[in-house]
C-alpha cells in the first residue's frame, strides 16, 4: 500500500477506474458465480461483505445515479403505477421502478438480482419497509441488523452488545450460508486496518475545508469524495490509494492557495462559506450546485458527507475489535444521531470551518433527515448568531425541484449576508 | 431633479415607485402582471411617472384639486379609449367573421357607456370610478364592459365572446402603451393645465438608478446588479413606512414571507412558504375563480359571516375541491370563505413563528393585506397571543417591495 | 347498569387542555403522569409507579395548528404537529415516551429534549430482533432504563411486585378489549363502531382502574342488545395504527355499507393476541409480550412471507369480506406496508380498497364513495370461484 506509483493518475480518474471495474464485476457476477448482496449506505458492513467475497450493491446509490442520469422520473412513475403512493420516499420508488423496468444499473449494464438482502436498519425506518418490499419481489433470503438509535446522545454497552450479537447470530451466518465460505477473522482484521487508514485520510480531506479559502466543496464536490469510503471499497487498498491521491491533490491546492473546484473551474472568489444540512437533490444536482458557486458560495462542511459514518470524533474501524467497531460504526452514522446531537455537530462545524451561515436543504422523501430540521436550524441560528437559510426539494423525484423557488430563497439568503457585512463595514463598532 | 425607480414584479401585479433623491415618494404605479414581464414593468413604471407628473402639475400651477382630478380622469379615460380601440381590432381578428357586425354594435355600446360616464363629469359613473380605481386593471374593466353590453343586447354568445376577449386581451396587453402626460392630446386636458405641459417636461425628474425585485425579478430587463431579493426590499420598504417595524409579514400572489429585522433594520432572518402556494394570494384567487367570485369581493363576502367553517386542505387545488364539497353539503358560502381566510392566516402565523416570532410592531404588506377578512382574522389571533402588539397596515402596503427597491437604488447613486 | 356517557368520554380525549388528567393529578399528588405516543408503550411501568399513562395520539381536527407548523415541512404527517400544538398543556407531565415506529416519531424524541427540557423524553427502541437472548435482552435493559426514568431511581423488588400487579390489571383491561372485539366481530350491529372506538380511545386518558368497570358494564349490556343486522359487508381496516381518523370517518365507512370487524386503530391498546404472563419476572413478561404475543404492525419487522400469512390469517379469523387500507397521509410505514399486503390479498382473491386521511379530514364524500362502491361490489357481484 505504500507503493503508489510515481506518476499517479488523478484521484478522479482513479475513482472512475475502480467504479467502472466494480460495475463490470457486477454485470458479470452471475456468469462468474459471484454472489451479490444488496444493502444500504448508512451502517454498511462492506468489510464483512467483501471478506466473504460477496459483491455489495447499494440501491440508494443506484437511485441517486439514475437521477443524475435523468432516469429517475420514469422509475418513480413506474413504481407509482404499481401502487406506491406519491407520499413515500422516492429512493424506494426509483429502485422498485428500475427493477420493474428491467434492472439496468446506472452504468447502463444489467444489475444482478440479490442473493442476499442485508437490511442494516440504521438511521432510517424506511429502509426496513424498502427491503420488505424488495424481499417480496426477489426470491432471496433477507438478514436484518437492527441498529439502536442514539436517542440520548451516546452508545451504551447494552446497545453495542445487541448489535454484536446480531452480527454473530444473524448476519455472519447468513453471509456464510450465501457465500458458502466460513467467517475469516484474519481477513476482517486486515480489512478493518485498511478501513481505518482510509478513514483517517478521508477526515483529513474533509478537514482541509477549514482552510480559507477552502480547497474543496464539501457537499457538491464532497459527494464524489465519499463514494469509495461509503460504498464497495472502504476496507480495500483501492480506497486507501484513492484517498492518498485525493489528499495530495487537495494539499497541493492549499499550497497554491486555490479555491474550491466547481463545474466551471476554480471558484473565482470565495464569498460565502456555508455549512449544509441535508442530502442533495440528485435530479438537478448540477443546477443546484451552480446556484451556490455562481454566487461565490462554497460548502465547507455538511452532514451529508457523514451519512455513511462519522469519523470526525475519532472513530475508526478497529482491527482488534472488529465486530464491536462495526457496531459503533453503524450507531455513529449521522442519521442515527439524536436531534440535539445533530445540533451540536452542526454548531461545531460552523465554528471549526469558519462558516458564514447554515443552509438547510430539506427533501420531501427523507423524514429521517427532515423531521426536526426546522428546529435544528433555529437552534444553530441561536447558538452561532449566524444567518440560516432553508430550501426544499426532493432526492430523486424531479417534479419537486423548483429552480425559481430555490433561487429566490438563496438570493435572499446571500443578500442578507451581504447586507449585514456592508453594515458592519460601515459601522465597525457593531 | 434626480429620482430612482423601484420595480416589484409580482406574480399577480407589477408595482413601481418613483423616489426623489431625498427619499420622498414621487409616484406609484401598478398594473397586472402579464406574460411579457418587460411590458408589465414598463407599464407600471409609466403609471408611476404619470402619478408623479400629476403631482408635479399641482405644484407647478397651483391647480385646484378638482382640476387635477379632472386632468387625471381625462388622461385615464383617453388612455382607456385608445386601448379599447386596440382591443377591439384584436377582437375582430380573433373572432369568427360572422360575429363582426355584432362586435361593431358592442363597440358602439361600450363607447356610449364611456361617453355617458364622461358626460356625468365623473359623478356616480361606475365605469369612471373603475377606471380611476388603481386596484382595477384595464383587462377587468374592459372585459366587464363588453360582457355587460353583450348581455344587454343578447346578440352574442357570452362564452364565445369571453373566450375571444381573453385571447384579444392577451394580445393587446403585451404591447406597450404610452401614457406619458405630454404625449396626450392637449385637447383632452382642462384649459388651465395645457400651458403647463411644456414646463413639466423640463422639471420632470431624471431616473438615475433603478432596482428590480419580486417574484419575476430574474426576468426583468435589468442587469444582475440592479436586482434585489424581495425579502430585502420588503424589509427596507416596511422600515421606511414604519420606523418601528421589527417583523414584516408579506402575503403576495405566489409567496408568503415572514421577515425579522434587527434593531438596525437589517434582515435577521426570514421564512417563505414552501413549494406549494398554499396560504398565498393564489390560494384565495384559485378558490375565487372556482366559485366565480371576484377576487376583491372575496374578503367583503367572508366578513359577513358570523362563524368560520374549517377548511383543512393546505393544498391550493384540494382547497378548491374542499370548498365546493362544503358548499354542496349545505354550508353557507360566506362561512366557508371565512374558513378559507382563516386558513391563510394560520399559515401566515406559523411562518411568522418559524421566522422567530412577532416583535413590537408587525407590518403587514402585499396584496392580501388589502383583504379585510384576512386583516380581521389576523387581528383576532394577534389579540389572543400578542395583545400589546401594534399591527401596521399602510394604505400603500402593496408598494412596499417597490419602495424598498427604490430605496436600494438610492444607495447606489 | 347503564351505558357509559359517550359524549363525556369523547370530550375526555378531545380536550386539548387534558383537564381530566389534571383532575387525576389533583387526586394523586406527587404521582407521575407520563405521556406516550403511538403505537405501543408498556403502560404497566407507569401504573406500577403509581402513575397515570396518557396516550398522546394527536389532538384531533378541532385544534388549529400554528405552533406545530413551525417545526414541520408540508410533507410530514399531521400527528406530530397537533401533539406539539397541545404540548404546553402537558406541563405537569414528568416525561413522554416515544416508541420507535417511524423517523418522525424518532426525531420528535430529540426535539422534545430541546423544546421541553423540564421533562424527560424517552425513546423506546423496540427491538426488531425477536430472539429472547438478543432482542429480548436488549428490550429488557431498555425497560429497566425506562422504569428508572419513571421512578427516578432503579426499580427495586417492591416495584417489581407492583409491576406484576399492573400487568394483571392491564391483562384484565385487554381481556375486556378482546371480548369486546370478539362481540363486535361476531355481531357487529350490537357494538356500533363509534362506541367501540370511544371505549378504546378513552383508555388513553383514563386509568385502567376507572376504565375497566365501565368497559365490563358496557360489554354486559351490549351482549344483550336486541338490534338487527344490516346488509353490510365485513371489512378489516388496516394502516391506521398511528394518526387517527375522526369518528365521523369511521361512521362514514360503516354507513356506506361496511362493518369494520377488526382494525389496527390505536394499535398498542389491543396489540397483544394473548394475555401477558402473570408469574415470574414481570419485566420478562413485558419482553415476552412484545416478542411473542404482539400482532403484526407496519413498524415491526417481519419476513415478507410471514407478513402476508399473518395478515391473511387475521382477515380470515374475522371472516372479513375485504380489507380497507386507511393510511395517514405521508405515513411511510403504513403506505409501504400497503403495497405488500395488497399484493398478498390479490393473490388470494380478497378484494381491497384504499384511501388516505389526516386526523383533520372531515370531508367524507370521497371516502363514502370508496367504501360504498367497495361494499356494493362485494354484495352485488358474486365472488369468482
**Domain of residue A34, residue span:** 11-183
Q: C interface mutation test: which of A132, A307, A341 has the most C CBs within 10 A? A: A132
The mean pLDDT of C356-370, rounded to a whole number, is 92
Task: Please answer whether residues C69 and C81 qualify as being in contact, where contact means their C-beta atoms are separated by less than 8 angstroms.
Answer: yes
Residue A375 sits at the chain B interface (C-beta within 8 Å) = no
Domain presence at residue A295? no
CA–CA distance, A203 with A216 (Å, rounded to integer): 13
Q: Do C304 and A132 touch (CB under 8 A)?
A: yes
d(CA C36, nearest CA chain B) in Å = 26
Give A262-278 pLDDT, tens digit per residue: 999 999 999 999 999 99
- Mean residue pLDDT across chain C: 95
Give B340-388 pLDDT, tens digit per residue: 999 899 989 999 999 988 888 899 998 899 999 999 999 999 998 887 8
Residue C318, Cβ density class (10 Å: 0-12 exposed, 13-18 middle, ≥19 buried): buried
Locate cell 470565495: which residue? A270
**Domain of residue B43, residue span:** 1-63+193-241+403-413
- The answer to whether residues B209 and B161 belong to one domain is no
Q: Do C115 and A375 touch (CB under 8 A)?
A: yes
- B274 falls in which pLDDT band (50, 70, 90)? confident
Task: Please answer whether residues A62 and A106 qualify as being in contact, where contact means their C-beta atoms are separated by less than 8 angstroms.
Answer: yes
**Domain of residue C137, residue span:** 6-163
Buried b / exposed e over A346-369, threshold 16 CB at 10 Å, is: bbbbbeebebbbbbbbbbbbbbbb
CB-CB neighbours of B161 under 10 Å:
23
Per-position DSSP letters for B206-238, written without gaps between them: EEEEEEEESTTGGGSSS-GGGB--HHHHHHHHH
d(CA C169, nearest CA chain A) in Å = 30
Buried b / exposed e over B66-90, threshold 16 CB at 10 Å, is: ebbebbbbbbbbbbbbebbeebbeb
Which residues of chain B does C362 touch, with a Cβ-Cβ cutoff of 8 Å? 310, 312
At residue A265, the pLDDT reads: 93
Q: Nearest residue of B to residue C365 by CA position?
A: B325
- B183 falls in which pLDDT band (50, 70, 90)? low
Domain presence at residue B312? yes
Q: A interface mutation test: which of B231, B235, B263 has the most A CBs within 10 A? A: B231
What pTM was estimated for this model as a whole? 0.93
- The answer to whether residues B203 and B158 belong to one domain is no
Task: Pick from A237-246, B141-150, B167-176, B350-359 the range whose average pLDDT is largest.
Answer: A237-246
Say whether the peptide bond before residue C295 is cis (omega within 30 degrees of 0).
no
Strand B256-261 relative to strand B267-272, pairing: antiparallel
Domain presence at residue C87? yes
Domain presence at residue A190? no
At residue C95, the pLDDT reads: 98
Question: Residue A358 above 90 pLDDT?
Answer: yes
Q: Please report the beta strands in C192-348, taking only residues with DSSP state E, as ranges in sequence order.
A: 233-238, 258-263, 322-328
Overall residue count recorded for chain C in this entry: 385
CA–CA distance, B242 with B244 (Å, rounded to integer): 5
Domain presence at residue B248? yes
Task: Please answer whether residues B352 and B258 qualify as being in contact, where contact means their C-beta atoms are separated by less than 8 angstroms.
Answer: yes
Assign residue A170 the CATH number of its domain: 3.40.50.11890
Domain presence at residue B223? yes
Count of structural domains within chain B: 3
> Cα A293 vs. chain centroid, distance in angstroms?
21
- The answer to whether residues B287 and B157 belong to one domain is no
Domain presence at residue B328? yes
Q: Of the ranges A62-76, A117-131, A371-385, B98-112, which one carries the lowest mean pLDDT score?
A: B98-112
Q: Do B276 and C73 touch (CB under 8 A)?
A: no
Domain presence at residue A222? no
- The answer to whether residues B272 and B379 belong to one domain is yes
Task: Please answer whether residues B300 and B383 qualify as being in contact, where contact means their C-beta atoms are separated by less than 8 angstroms.
Answer: no
Bridge partner list, B209: B4
Cell, residue C245: 381518523
Count of structural domains within chain A: 1
Question: Residue A425 above 60 pLDDT?
Answer: yes
- The answer to whether residues B272 and B307 belong to one domain is yes
d(CA B403, nearest CA chain A) in Å = 17
Cell, residue C179: 371480548
The closest CB to that of A423, out of B218, B264, B354, belongs to: B264
Question: What does the DSSP 8-state code read for residue B261?
Answer: E
Bridge partner list, A126: none
Which residues of chain C does B322 touch, with a Cβ-Cβ cutoff of 8 Å? 363
Which residues of chain C does A83 touch, with a Cβ-Cβ cutoff of 8 Å? 338-339, 342
Locate cell 394523586: which residue? C28
Give C323-346 pLDDT, tens digit per residue: 999 999 999 999 999 999 999 999
At residue C159, the pLDDT reads: 98
Cell, residue B253: 400572489
Domain presence at residue B72? no
SS3 C260: strand
Give A305-356 pLDDT, tens digit per residue: 999 999 999 999 999 999 999 999 999 999 999 999 999 999 999 999 999 9
Q: Nearest residue of B to residue C65 by CA position?
A: B346
Which residues of chain B does A408 touch, with a Cβ-Cβ cutoff of 8 Å? 215, 229-230, 255, 272
Find the angle CA(C298)-CA(C304)-CA(C305) to the nearest 5 degrees. Answer: 125
CB-CB neighbours of C278 under 10 Å:
12
d(CA A411, nearest CA chain B) in Å = 6
Q: Do B271 and A390 touch (CB under 8 A)?
A: yes
Question: What does the DSSP 8-state code read for residue B51?
Answer: H
Share of chain C above pLDDT 70, in %: 99
At residue B174, the pLDDT reads: 76
Domain presence at residue A78? yes
Residue B266 sits at the chain A interface (C-beta within 8 Å) = yes
- The answer to whether residues B125 and B153 belong to one domain is yes
Count of structural domains within chain C: 1
At residue B162, the pLDDT reads: 87
Domain presence at residue A405? no
At residue B330, the pLDDT reads: 87
CA–CA distance, B234 with B8 (Å, rounded to integer): 10
From residue C198, alpha-carbon distances to C193, C204, C215 in Å are: 8, 10, 11
Task: Please answer whether residues B143 and B130 qualify as being in contact, where contact means their C-beta atoms are separated by less than 8 angstroms.
Answer: no
Which residues of chain A does C303 touch, with a Cβ-Cβ cutoff of 8 Å? 135, 142
C-alpha closest to that of C282 among C178, C118, C188, C165:
C165
The closest CB to that of B353, out of C67, C361, C363, belongs to: C67
Which residues of chain C does B310 touch, with a Cβ-Cβ cutoff of 8 Å? 61, 64, 360, 362
Question: Residue B178 above 70 pLDDT?
Answer: no
SS3 A299: strand
Q: Do C103 and A87 touch (CB under 8 A)?
A: no
Overall residue count recorded for chain A in this entry: 430
- The answer to whether residues B160 and B215 belong to one domain is no
Q: Do A407 and B218 touch (CB under 8 A)?
A: yes
Assign residue C149 the CATH number of its domain: 3.40.50.11890
Cell, residue C285: 413478561
Assign residue B8 the CATH number of its domain: 3.30.420.40
Domain presence at residue C96? yes
- The answer to whether residues B264 and B371 belong to one domain is yes
Residue C273 dihedral angles phi and psi, to the nearest 5°: -85, -15
CA–CA distance, A112 with A124 (Å, rounded to integer): 25
Q: Do A415 and B228 touch (CB under 8 A)?
A: yes
- The answer to whether residues B95 and B179 belong to one domain is yes
Amino acid at each position: 500500500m505504500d507503493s503508489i506509483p510515481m506518476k499517479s493518475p488523478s484521484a478522479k480518474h482513479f475513482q472512475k477506474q475502480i467504479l467502472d471495474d466494480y460495475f463490470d464485476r457486477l454485470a458479470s457476477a452471475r456468469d462468474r458465480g459471484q454472489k451479490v448482496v444488496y444493502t444500504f449506505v448508512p451502517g454498511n458492513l462492506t468489510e464483512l461483505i467483501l471478506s466473504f467475497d460477496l459483491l455489495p450493491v447499494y440501491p440508494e446509490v443506484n437511485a441517486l445515479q439514475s437521477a443524475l442520469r435523468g432516469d429517475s422520473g420514469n422509475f418513480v412513475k413506474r413504481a407509482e403505477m404499481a401502487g406506491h403512493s406519491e407520499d413515500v420516499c422516492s429512493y424506494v420508488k426509483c429502485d422498485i421502478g428500475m427493477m420493474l423496468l428491467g434492472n439496468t444499473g446506472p452504468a447502463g449494464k444489467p444489475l444482478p438480482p440479490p442473493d442476499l438482502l442485508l437490511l442494516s436498519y440504521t438511521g432510517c425506518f424506511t429502509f426496513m419497509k424498502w427491503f420488505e418490499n424488495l424481499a417480496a419481489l426477489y426470491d432471496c433470503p433477507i438478514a436484518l441488523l437492527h441498529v439502536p438509535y442514539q436517542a440520548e446522545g451516546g452508545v451504551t454497552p447494552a446497545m453495542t452488545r445487541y448489535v454484536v450479537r446480531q452480527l454473530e447470530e444473524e448476519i455472519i451466518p447468513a453471509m456464510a450460508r450465501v457465500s458458502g465460505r466460513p467467517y475469516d477473522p484474519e481477513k476482517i482484521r486486515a480489512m478493518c486496518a485498511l478501513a481505518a487508514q482510509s478513514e483517517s485520510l478521508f477526515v483529513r480531506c474533509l478537514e482541509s475545508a477549514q482552510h480559507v479559502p477552502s480547497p474543496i466543496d464539501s457537499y457538491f464536490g464532497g459527494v464524489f469524495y465519499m463514494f469509495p469510503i461509503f460504498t464497495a471499497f472502504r476496507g480495500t487498498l483501492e480506497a486507501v490509494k484513492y484517498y492518498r491521491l485525493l489528499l495530495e491533490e487537495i494539499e497541493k491546492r492549499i499550497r497554491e492557495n486555490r479555491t474550491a473546484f466547481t463545474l466551471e473551474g476554480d471558484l473565482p472568489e470565495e464569498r460565502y462559506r456555508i455549512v449544509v444540512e441535508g442530502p442533495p437533490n440528485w435530479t438537478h444536482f448540477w443546477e443546484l450546485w451552480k446556484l451556490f458557486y455562481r454566487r461565490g458560495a462554497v460548502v465547507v462542511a455538511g452532514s451529508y458527507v457523514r451519512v455513511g459514518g462519522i469519523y470526525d470524533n475519532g472513530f475508526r474501524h478497529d482491527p482488534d475489535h472488529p465486530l464491536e467497531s462495526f457496531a459503533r460504526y453503524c450507531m455513529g452514522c449521522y442519521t442515527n444521531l439524536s436531534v440535539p446531537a445533530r445540533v451540536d455537530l452542526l454548531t461545531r462545524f460552523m465554528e471549526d470551518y469558519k462558516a458564514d451561515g447554515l443552509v438547510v436543504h430539506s427533501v420531501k422523501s427523507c423524514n429521517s433527515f427532515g423531521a426536526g430540521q426546522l428546529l435544528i436550524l433555529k437552534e444553530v441560528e441561536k447558538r452561532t448568531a449566524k444567518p440560516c437559510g432553508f430550501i426544499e426539494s426532493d432526492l430523486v423525484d424531479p417534479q419537486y425541484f423548483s429552480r425559481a423557488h430555490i433561487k429566490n430563497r438563496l438570493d435572499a439568503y446571500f443578500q442578507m449576508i451581504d447586507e449585514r457585512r456592508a453594515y458592519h463595514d460601515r459601522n465597525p463598532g457593531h | 431633479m434626480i429620482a430612482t425607480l423601484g420595480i416589484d414584479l409580482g406574480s399577480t401585479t407589477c408595482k413601481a415607485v418613483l423616489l426623489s433623491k431625498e427619499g420622498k415618494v414621487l409616484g406609484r404605479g401598478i398594473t397586472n402582471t402579464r406574460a411579457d414581464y418587460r411590458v408589465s414593468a414598463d407599464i407600471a413604471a409609466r403609471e408611476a411617472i404619470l402619478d408623479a407628473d400629476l403631482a408635479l402639475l399641482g405644484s407647478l400651477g397651483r391647480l385646484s384639486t378638482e382640476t387635477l382630478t379632472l386632468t387625471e380622469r381625462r388622461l385615464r379615460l383617453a388612455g382607456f379609449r385608445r386601448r379599447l380601440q386596440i382591443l377591439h381590432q384584436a377582437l375582430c381578428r380573433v373572432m369568427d367573421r360572422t360575429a363582426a357586425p355584432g362586435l361593431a354594435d358592442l363597440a358602439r355600446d361600450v363607447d356610449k357607456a364611456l361617453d355617458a360616464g364622461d358626460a356625468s363629469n365623473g359623478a356616480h359613473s361606475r365605469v369612471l370610478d373603475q377606471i380611476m380605481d388603481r386596484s382595477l386593471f384595464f383587462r377587468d374593466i374592459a372585459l366587464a364592459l363588453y360582457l355587460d353590453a353583450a348581455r344587454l343586447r343578447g346578440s352574442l354568445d357570452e362564452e364565445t365572446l369571453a373566450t375571444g376577449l381573453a385571447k384579444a386581451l392577451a394580445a393587446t396587453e403585451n404591447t406597450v402603451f404610452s401614457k406619458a402626460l405630454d404625449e396626450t392630446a392637449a385637447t383632452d386636458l382642462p384649459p388651465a393645465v395645457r400651458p403647463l405641459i411644456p414646463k413639466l417636461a423640463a422639471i420632470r425628474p431624471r431616473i438615475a438608478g433603478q432596482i428590480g425585485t419580486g417574484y419575476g425579478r430574474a426576468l426583468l430587463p435589468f442587469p444582475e446588479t440592479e436586482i434585489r431579493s424581495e425579502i430585502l426590499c420588503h424589509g427596507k420598504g416596511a422600515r421606511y413606512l414604519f420606523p418601528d417595524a421589527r417583523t414584516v409579514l408579506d402575503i403576495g400572489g405566489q409567496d408568503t414571507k415572514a421577515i425579522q429585522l434587527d434593531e438596525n433594520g437589517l434582515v435577521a432572518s426570514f421564512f417563505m412558504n414552501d413549494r406549494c402556494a398554499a396560504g398565498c394570494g393564489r390560494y384565495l384567487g384559485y378558490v375565487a375563480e372556482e366559485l366565480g367570485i371576484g377576487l376583491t369581493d372575496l374578503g367583503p363576502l367572508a366578513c359577513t359571516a358570523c362563524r368560520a367553517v374549517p377548511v383543512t386542505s393546505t393544498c391550493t387545488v384540494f382547497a378548491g375541491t374542499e370548498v365546493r364539497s362544503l358548499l354542496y353539503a349545505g354550508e353557507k358560502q360566506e362561512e366557508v370563505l371565512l374558513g378559507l381566510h382563516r386558513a391563510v392566516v394560520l399559515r401566515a402565523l406559523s411562518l411568522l413563528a418559524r421566522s422567530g416570532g412577532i416583535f413590537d410592531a408587525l407590518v403587514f404588506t402585499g396584496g392580501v393585506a388589502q383583504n379585510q377578512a384576512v386583516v380581521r382574522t389576523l387581528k383576532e389571533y394577534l389579540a389572543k397571543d400578542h395583545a400589546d402588539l401594534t399591527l401596521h397596515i399602510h394604505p400603500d402596503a402593496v408598494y412596499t417591495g417597490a419602495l424598498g427597491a427604490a430605496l436600494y437604488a438610492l444607495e447606489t447613486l | 347498569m347503564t351505558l357509559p356517557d359517550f359524549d363525556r368520554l369523547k370530550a375526555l380525549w378531545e380536550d386539548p387542555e387534558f383537564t381530566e388528567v389534571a383532575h387525576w393529578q389533583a387526586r394523586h399528588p406527587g404521582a407521575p403522569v407520563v405521556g406516550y405516543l403511538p403505537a405501543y408503550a408498556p403502560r404497566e411501568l407507569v401504573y406500577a409507579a403509581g402513575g397515570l399513562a396518557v396516550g398522546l395520539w394527536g389532538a384531533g381536527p378541532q385544534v388549529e395548528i400554528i405552533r406545530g407548523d413551525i417545526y414541520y415541512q408540508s410533507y410530514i404527517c399531521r400527528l406530530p404537529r397537533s401533539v406539539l400544538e397541545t404540548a404546553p398543556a402537558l406541563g405537569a407531565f414528568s416525561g413522554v415516551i416515544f416508541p420507535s415506529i417511524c423517523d418522525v416519531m424518532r426525531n420528535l424524541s430529540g426535539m422534545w429534549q430541546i423544546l421541553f427540557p423540564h421533562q424527560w423524553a424517552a425513546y423506546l427502541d423496540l427491538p426488531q430482533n425477536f430472539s429472547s437472548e438478543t432482542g429480548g435482552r436488549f428490550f429488557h435493559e431498555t425497560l429497566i432504563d425506562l422504569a428508572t426514568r419513571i421512578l427516578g431511581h432503579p426499580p427495586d423488588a417492591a416495584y417489581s411486585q407492583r409491576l406484576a400487579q399492573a400487568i394483571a390489571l392491564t391483562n384484565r383491561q385487554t381481556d375486556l378489549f378482546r371480548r369486546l372485539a370478539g362481540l363486535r366481530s361476531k355481531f357487529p350491529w350490537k357494538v356500533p363502531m363509534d362506541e367501540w372506538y370511544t371505549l378504546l380511545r378513552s383508555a388513553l386518558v383514563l386509568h385502567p382502574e376507572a376504565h375497566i368497570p365501565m368497559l365490563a358494564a358496557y360489554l354486559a349490556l351490549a351482549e344483550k342488545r336486541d338490534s338487527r343486522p344490516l346488509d353490510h359487508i365485513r371489512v378489516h381496516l388496516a394502516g391506521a395504527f398511528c394518526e387517527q381518523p375522526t369518528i365521523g370517518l369511521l361512521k362514514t365507512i360503516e354507513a356506506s355499507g361496511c362493518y369494520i370487524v377488526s382494525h389496527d386503530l390505536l394499535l398498542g391498546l389491543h396489540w397483544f393476541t394473548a394475555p401477558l404472563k402473570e408469574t415470574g419476572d414481570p419485566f420478562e413478561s413485558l419482553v415476552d409480550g412484545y416478542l411473542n404475543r404482539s400482532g403484526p404492525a407496519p413498524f415491526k419487522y417481519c419476513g415478507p412471507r410471514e407478513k402476508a400469512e399473518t395478515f391473511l390469517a387475521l382477515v380470515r379469523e374475522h371472516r372479513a369480506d375485504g380489507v380497507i387500507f386507511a393510511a395517514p397521509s405521508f405515513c411511510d410505514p403504513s403506505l409501504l406496508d400497503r403495497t405488500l399486503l395488497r399484493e398478498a390479498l390479490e393473490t388470494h382473491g380478497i378484494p381491497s380498497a384504499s384511501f388516505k386521511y389526516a386526523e383533520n379530514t372531515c370531508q367524507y364524500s370521497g371516502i363514502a364513495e370508496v367504501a360504498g362502491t367497495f361494499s356494493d361490489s362485494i354484495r352485488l357481484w358474486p365472488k369468482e370461484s
